[in-house]
Amino acid sequence: MYDYDVCVVGGGPSGVITAYSVAKAGYTCIILDKKPRGLIGDKNCGDALDSLYTDILHEKLGIEPPSVELGEARDLINKFTIATGTLENQLSAQTPGYLVNRLAYGQRLLKDAEKIGVEILPEVSVRNVLVENNHIIGVEYFDKEGNKNKIKSRITVDASGIIGIVRKAIPIMLKNDINYDFNDNHVIKTYREIIKLKSNKDHKYREEILLFYPPEIKPPGYIWIFSEGPKMLNIGIAWVKSDPYPIGKSMKKLFHDHLDKYFPTDSYEVIQKGGGNIPMRPNFDSLVYNGALLVGDAAGAVDPTSFEGHGPALDSGRMAGNAAISALEANSFSKEDLWQYNVDFMKYPGAMHMESFIASQMTRDVGVKNLEFLLNRKIITEEILRNMFQEKDSVISNSTLLKMFLRAFPRWPMMFKLRKYMVKIEKVEEIYKKYPMSPDKLEEWRKFRNQELKMNF
Ligand SMILES: Cc1cc2nc3c(=O)[nH]c(=O)nc-3n(C[C@H](O)[C@H](O)[C@H](O)COP(=O)(O)OP(=O)(O)OC[C@H]3O[C@@H](n4cnc5c(N)ncnc54)[C@H](O)[C@@H]3O)c2cc1C
C-alpha cells in the first residue's frame, strides 16, 4: 500500500539529513524537490555554519564536515564579532565554523544520501497532503509537465523551508490547536551580495563573521560582513518584515549606502545577489502530527537573534530521523509515536531559541541607541558574548549583572528593562525541561509556559 517508508518534501539541509538518517537505518526514503537535481541545496544565504552542528553529524551519523579543499566551504570561521553602526566599537568571541558553498555542500550531502539508497525526485512541486483516518499518509505533487501524482508513505516530512507546504496543507483538526502560521512580525526579510574584491590585497575579515547594528534598522535587524576567503565577502542586510522601511530607502539602497562606506562600487565585482525570508519566532510548540514531522525552517528552527538556521536545520533532520526510525520499528505512526522528536528538540535547540527570542524582543524594546551605549560602555562584555554564542547560554550571572548595572550608570531605567527580560530568559531552561512526554499534557504545559513568561504563543 505504501510506496516508501518516508517521503521528505524538500532536499535542503533539514530534508537531506532526515532522509540520510532513515536510509542508514535500512528504511526506504524519497526526497521530492521542486528544483532541478543539480541545484538542490543552493540558497541565497549568509553561508555561516557553526561547526557544533557538523561535529554532531560526524559523530552521530559519520557524515564528513564541509571541506575547504573540495570547495564545499569557502573559508573557515574562527571569530564572531558584533559592532556598533559605524564599526567603531567591536566585541568578539571565538566561534569555530565554516563559510559554506551552499550548492557544493548541499550536493555532496545529497550524494551521501543517494549512496545509501535515498531516491531523489527533482522538479516536482508538492501541493497537498493525503489524509486517511486522521493520519497523513503521503503527498500530492505536480511534475514539470503539470501532471498530478501521489506518493504514499508511512511518514511524511515537511522540509520545504519557510513556505512549510506540508504544514500548511495539514487539516486544522490535526493541528493540536496550535497556530502554525508565520506573520510578518515573525519573518526576517533579507538581501545579500557575494562580492569579489579587485584589489591584490586580502580583505581584513579573514575567518571572521561580523554583525553590526546601524541606527536606521530596528533590532534585531543587522548588516553582516562574512569572509568567504581572502578576496570574497558575503555581505547582507536583514530586518523584521513588518518594520517600516527607513524613509525613502529600499532595502537594496540602504544596503549599498553602507557597503559603499567600506567597499566603493568600483572596487569589487558581484558574484551572486538575492534575498529571502527567514523565520524569526520560537519554534512551534509541537513539530509532529499523526504520520508527519516538521524540520528546519518549516519547523521555525532558526535562532531569532542571530538568524542562524542552517545548523539547526541539519540537527532537526537528525532528531526527526531518530523519531521516524523508532516509529518505523514499532510500525506505528501516530503523533504519540513520533513525540520523542518534540522532547529532544525542545531540550536543544528549542529552549535556546526561546531564550534567544526573548533576547530579540529585548533588543527591540531597548532600541538601537541603547544597544550602541551597551557596546560603547562595554556593558555587554566578551564573556557574555562567549556564553551566548560559544556556550549557547543566554543566562547572565548575578555578579556579571551587578557589574553591568555599575557600568551603565545613570541609564538604570534601561537596565531595569533589560533585567525584566533577563529574568524571563533565566526561567526558560527549567520550563522547557518540563516539556511533556506525551501530547495529552501539551495544552497544560503551554498554559504554564505562557503564564511564566507572560507571553501568548
Ligand atoms: C539571505 C539568507 C541568509 C541566511 N544566512 C544564514 C547563515 O549565514 N547561517 C545560517 O545558519 N542560516 C542562514 N540562513 C537560514 C538558512 O538558510 C535556513 O535556515 C536553512 O537553509 C533551512 O534549511 P531547510 O532545509 O529547512 O530549508 P531550505 O534550505 O529552504 O530548503 C527547502 C527545500 O524545499 C524545496 N521546496 C520548497 N517548496 C517545495 C514544494 N512545494 N515542493 C517540493 N520542494 C519544495 C526547496 O526547493 C528547497 O530545496 C539564511 C537565510 C537567508 C534567506
Would you list the domain boundaries of the chain? Answer: 4-66+101-182+281-338, 184-279, 353-453
Query: In terms of CATH, what superfamily is 4-66+101-182+281-338?
Result: FAD/NAD(P)-binding domain (3.50.50.60)
The whole-angstrom separation of Cα 447 and Cα 455 is: 10
CA distance linking residue 111 with residue 89, whole number of Å? 44
Sorted by sequence, the CB contacts under 8 Å of residue 186 that are 6+ apart come out as 279, 280, 281, 300
| Residue among 307, 356, 389, 392 to mutate when testing ligand 1 (max atoms within 8 A of CB) | 307
Distance 437 CA to ligand 1 centre (A): 30
- Cβ–Cβ under 8 Å, residues 182 and 242: no
Q: Which CATH superfamily is domain 184-279 in?
A: D-Amino Acid Oxidase, subunit A, domain 2 (3.30.9.10)
Ligand 1 pocket, residues with Cβ under 6 angstroms:
9-15, 32-35, 40, 43-49, 125-126, 159-161, 163, 165, 190, 192, 236, 275-276, 278, 296-298, 302, 307-311, 313
What is the DSSP-derived secondary structure letter of residue 298? G
- Whether complex ipTM tops 0.85: yes
**Count of CB atoms within 10 A of residue 176's CB?**
16
Chain segment 92-117, per-residue pLDDT in tens: 888 899 999 999 999 999 999 999 99
The residue type found at 134 is N
Ligand 1 atom nearest residue 299's Cα = 26
Atom index in ligand 1 nearest the CA of residue 11 equals: 49
Place of cell 540520510: 20
**Nearest alpha carbon, ligand 1 atom 30:** 161
CA distance 283 to 293: 13
Alpha carbon distance 211, 450 (integer Å) = 31
Substitution candidate for ligand 1 out of 43, 44, 228 with most atoms within 8 A of CB: 43
Chain segment 421-435, per-residue pLDDT in tens = 888 988 999 999 999
Ligand 1 mean position, distance from CA 12 (Å): 6
Distance in Å from the first CA to the final CA of the chain: 39
- Residue by residue, pLDDT tens for the chain (457 residues) are 899 999 999 999 999 999 999 999 999 999 999 999 999 999 999 999 999 999 999 999 999 999 999 999 999 999 999 888 888 888 888 889 999 999 999 999 999 999 999 999 999 999 999 999 999 999 999 999 999 999 999 999 999 999 999 999 999 888 877 888 889 999 999 999 999 999 999 999 999 999 999 989 999 999 999 999 999 999 999 999 999 888 788 999 999 999 999 999 999 999 999 999 999 998 899 999 999 999 999 999 999 999 999 999 999 999 999 999 999 999 999 999 999 999 999 999 999 999 999 989 988 988 887 777 777 777 777 677 666 655 656 567 777 777 776 676 666 676 777 788 888 988 999 999 999 999 999 999 999 999 999 988 8
Residue 275 CA, closest ligand 1 atom number: 1
Query: 45: CA distance to ligand 1 center in Å?
Result: 8
